[in-house]
């Protein structure tokens, strides 16, 4: 069978958040672009995500009365990241900060809609941090606007099925305690009723972001091929000049006159790569990244001589699972940051500020050897707040009988059932209860930042994140270092060009998103710190390839 050949100016491998911006740049400059997706659905893990982008110095932040600048953002990133090597070089940080607001304006010019997420930077009390946050999100989106493409938008029910914006979602978790939480729940229920009556399919989070981006791409007649797996690269005179792909059993050669952009995600679903690079223990069962997050494009680039960096990092998040492996929810920091809950290791000791960034939480789990760790909470927590998929005050007996949720009338008995040192747990809880009364966590500083308090209960005084653990029955759940994507990958420069170990460029090959070593290094500065750089470096890559940003 003859090999089919196609030609475009730019070929984009993968359909995550950075892909449509890159394709639109090419379109605006009179060039052709193709988005190639190996799965039958589009959007990648970006469509599964919260749909938030962290974009320094953006216009929406200033319109909301916030204050930001290049200097503030640079101070913030430098103070957090430090020197972690070329994956987060000074040049890459500079390019990201300078271009971020430009990307937002560019997309809005093409019809994209953003709103201020009102989400504090995760380390807002560090130099350059912004308590109101630098994050943007998309308004709710009716996926019916995608017409025949609507069923092809990747969809994670936990994040996408409820018609609520990311900036309202956190309020729902205090619906038993606050009027704002009750109002958000009421609005959401009305939207669900409207959906049932009118057929509207309003979605938030990653579906709102990716759905609207793909609506723009389809309107701009940007070709998108699904079910097309890239197998290798075409080379011409040492330059990447296209890809070899497989589509419905047929081999394709797709020539790319200006280059190829890898935006195919990381390797969360590749056990061999996890075993090779990630801290132990590790498991592909502990991720909610999309099923196509299997790392072969990182491997293919490495086969051309591309360097990789930060491969031991991921966007960690404390998660729990039923004994059969069924995912039961994200718990860090939304659940464990609420009053009347702590997280301990097998010795019964706290090892982390439970309200910290979810990525830091996972890092500290590994550093403490606390895999699994145990979330310990009491009747007050169970009555007032959700736990994963459990609503407040509703504790299905089958979760206790099945061993997922440990419960006891005393902390000593709870410790025995979990295999935790009882004396250590008793001492930890007594100390924590004293902190709850004074309002100051003398061990870990929980509740000391705007980000911590964002996940607290504002009706609890003097610290919205601290509440005594004293009302039986007591509960415990095993937590694991789950992830929503890996954070290391192909090494790139400030133009998103792929680099070799000696720092030289592989001509014609660009990369962005979770396929790359993150510009954020080993930290997560704010909501959307994966998607914001993915979009920005996708935009930068296309400008460079088009010859307009050398």
Cα(194)–Cα(43) distance, integer angstroms: 26
Q: Are strands 373-377 and 239-247 parallel, antiparallel or unpaired?
A: unpaired
Which CATH number is 1-43+58-112+220-313+487-518+527-550 given? 3.50.50.60
Residue 466 near residue 447 (C-beta atoms within 8 A): yes
Tokens 């099945």 sit on residue: 402
Question: Of 224, 256, 217, which is closest to residue 21 (Cα–Cα)?
Answer: 217
How does pLDDT run along the chain (550 residues), one tens digit per residue? 578 999 999 999 999 999 999 999 999 999 999 999 999 999 999 999 999 999 999 999 988 888 999 999 999 999 999 999 999 999 999 999 999 999 999 999 999 999 999 999 999 999 999 999 999 999 999 999 999 999 999 998 877 778 999 889 999 999 999 999 999 999 999 999 998 899 999 999 999 999 999 999 999 999 999 999 999 999 999 999 999 999 999 999 999 999 999 999 999 999 999 999 999 999 999 999 999 999 999 999 999 999 999 999 999 999 999 999 999 999 999 999 999 999 999 999 999 999 999 999 999 999 999 999 999 999 999 999 999 999 999 999 999 999 999 999 999 999 999 999 999 999 999 999 999 999 999 999 999 999 999 999 999 999 999 999 999 999 999 999 999 999 999 999 999 999 999 999 999 999 999 999 999 999 999 999 999 999 999 999 999 999 987 4
User: Is the omega angle on the peptide bond into residue 281 within 30 degrees of 0, that is, cis?
Assistant: yes
Task: Report the alpha-carbon distance of residue 231 to residue 13 in Å, rounded.
Answer: 11
Q: In a 3-state reduction of DSSP, which class is residue 376?
A: strand
Distances (CA, A) of 474 to 24, 381, 391, 412, 481: 54, 10, 17, 10, 23
d(CA 244, CA 229): 9
Phi and psi at residue 351, to the nearest 5°: -130, 10
Q: Quickly count: other Cβ atoms within 10 Å of residue 383's Cβ.
A: 14
CB 376 within 8 A of CB 341: yes
The residue extents of the domains of the chain are 1-43+58-112+220-313+487-518+527-550, 317-483
- Tell me what pLDDT residue 66 has: 86
| 3-state SS, residue 425 | helix
The long-range contacts involving 67-73, CB below 8 angstroms and separated by at least 24 positions, are: 67/130, 68/130, 68/134, 70/97, 70/98, 72/128, 72/130, 73/97, 73/128, 73/134
DSSP character for 458?
T
pLDDT the model gives residue 412:
98
Cα-based distances in Å from 268 to 175, 293, 483: 34, 6, 8
What's residue 219's pLDDT?
Answer: 98
| E strand or H helix at 413 | helix 411-418
Q: What is the pLDDT of residue 454?
A: 97
Longest Cα–Cα distance of the chain, Å, equals 76
Residue 1, pLDDT score: 58
Q: Which CATH class is domain 317-483?
A: alpha beta
Q: Which bin fits 265, alpha (ψ -120 to 50), beta or left (φ > 0)? A: left
Please check whether residue 48 is in contact with residue 210, taking contact to mean a CB–CB distance below 8 angstroms.
no
CA–CA separation, 514 and 451 (whole Å) = 24
Q: Tell the burial category of 219 from Cβ atoms under 10 Å away from its Cβ (0-12, 13-18, 19+).
A: exposed
Percent helix, percent strand, percent coil in the chain, to nearest 5: 35, 20, 40
Instruction: Judge if 1-43+58-112+220-313+487-518+527-550 and 317-483 fold alike in CATH terms.
Output: no
Phi and psi at residue 100, to the nearest 5°: -55, -50
Q: Which two tokens stand for residue 219?
A: 């309107």
Nearest CA to 341 among 393, 396, 379, 388? 379
In angstroms, rounded to a whole number, what is the distance separating the alpha carbons of residues 404 and 320? 9
Rg (C-alpha) for the chain, rounded Å, is 23
* Distance in angstroms (rounded) separating the CA atoms of residues 494 and 91: 6
Angle (CA) 146 147 150, round 5°: 60
3-state secondary structure at position 401: helix
Three-state DSSP at 22 gives helix
Indicate yes or no: pTM above 0.85. yes
How many residues does the structure list for the chain? 550
Question: Residue 203 is encoded by which pair of tokens?
Answer: 């979605």
User: What are 256's two structure tokens?
Assistant: 């790319």
The two tokens of residue 268 are 């969360």
Q: Are 107 and 547 in contact (CB under 8 A)?
A: no
CA-CA distance, 448 to 129, in Å (whole number)? 14
What's the rounded Cα separation, in Å, for the pair 524 and 505? 27
User: What is the structure's pLDDT at 444?
Assistant: 98
Helices 205-219 & 19-28 angle (0-180, nearest 10): 20
State which H helix or E strand residue 91 sits in: helix 90-109
Q: What is the pLDDT of residue 57?
A: 96
Least Cα distance to 283 among 296, 298, 297, 273 occurs for 273
| Cα separation, 446 vs 116, whole angstroms | 26
CA dist., res. 16 & res. 137, Å (int):
16
The dihedral region occupied by 496, where left means phi > 0, alpha psi between -120 and 50, and beta the remainder, is: left
Per DSSP bridges, beta strands 489-490 and 308-309 are: antiparallel
Q: How far, in Å, CA of 149 to CA of 42, rounded?
A: 9
Q: How far is CA 453 from CA 119, 337, 375, 417, in A?
A: 11, 9, 19, 32
């Amino acid at each position: 069978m003859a090999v089919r050949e196609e030609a475009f100016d730019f070929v984009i491998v993968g359909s995550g958040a950075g892909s449509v911006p890159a394709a639109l740049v090419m379109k605006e400059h009179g060039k052709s672009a193709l988005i190639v997706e190996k799965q039958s659905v589009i959007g990648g893990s970006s469509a599964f995500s919260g749909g938030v982008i962290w974009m320094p110095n953006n216009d929406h932040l200033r319109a909301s009365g916030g204050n930001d600048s290049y200097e503030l953002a640079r101070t913030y990133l430098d103070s957090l990241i430090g020197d972690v090597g070329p994956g987060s070089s000074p040049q890459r940080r500079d390019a990201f900060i300078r271009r971020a607001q430009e990307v937002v304006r560019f997309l809005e010019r093409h019809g994209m809609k953003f709103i201020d997420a009102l989400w504090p930077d995760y380390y807002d009390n560090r130099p350059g941090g912004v308590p109101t946050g630098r994050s943007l999100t998309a308004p709710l989106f009716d996926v019916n606007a995608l017409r025949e493409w609507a069923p092809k938008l990747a969809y994670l029910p936990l994040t996408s099925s409820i018609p609520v914006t990311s900036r309202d979602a956190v309020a729902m978790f205090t619906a038993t305690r606050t009027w704002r939480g009750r109002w958000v729940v009421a609005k959401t229920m009305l939207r669900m009723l409207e959906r049932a009556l009118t057929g509207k399919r309003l979605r938030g989070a990653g579906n709102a972001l990716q759905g609207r981006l793909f609506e723009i791409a389809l309107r701009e007649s940007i070709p998108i091929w699904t079910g097309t797996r890239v197998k290798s690269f075409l080379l011409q005179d040492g330059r990447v000049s296209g890809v070899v792909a497989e589509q419905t059993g047929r081999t394709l050669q797709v020539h790319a006159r200006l280059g190829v952009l890898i935006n195919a995600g990381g390797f969360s679903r590749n056990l061999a790569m996890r075993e090779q690079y990630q801290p132990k223990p590790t498991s592909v069962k502990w991720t909610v990244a999309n099923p196509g997050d299997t790392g072969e494009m990182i491997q293919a680039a490495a086969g051309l001589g591309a360097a990789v960096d930060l491969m031991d990092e991921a966007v960690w998040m404390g998660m729990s699972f039923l004994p059969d492996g069924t995912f039961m929810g994200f718990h860090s920091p939304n659940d464990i940051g609420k009053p009347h809950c702590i997280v301990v290791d097998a010795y019964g000791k706290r090892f982390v500020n439970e309200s910290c960034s979810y990525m830091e939480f996972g890092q500290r789990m590994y550093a403490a050897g606390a895999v699994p760790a145990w979330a310990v909470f009491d009747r007050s927590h169970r009555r007032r707040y959700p736990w994963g998929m459990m609503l407040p005050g509703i504790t299905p007996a089958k979760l206790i009988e099945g061993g997922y949720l440990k419960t006891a009338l005393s902390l000593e008995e709870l410790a025995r059932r979990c295999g935790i040192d009882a004396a250590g747990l008793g001492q930890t809880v007594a100390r924590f209860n004293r902190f709850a009364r004074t309002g100051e966590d003398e061990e870990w500083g929980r509740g000391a930042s705007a980000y911590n308090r964002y996940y607290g209960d504002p009706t609890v005084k003097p610290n919205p994140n601290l509440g005594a653990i004293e009302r039986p029955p007591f509960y415990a759940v095993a937590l694991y270092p789950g992830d929503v994507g890996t954070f290391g990958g192909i090494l790139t420069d400030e133009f998103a060009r792929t680099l070799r170990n000696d720092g030289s460029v592989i001509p014609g090959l660009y990369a962005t998103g979770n396929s790359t070593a993150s510009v954020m290094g080993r930290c997560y500065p704010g909501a959307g710190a994966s998607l914001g750089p993915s979009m920005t470096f996708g935009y930068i890559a296309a400008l460079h390839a088009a010859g307009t940003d050398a």
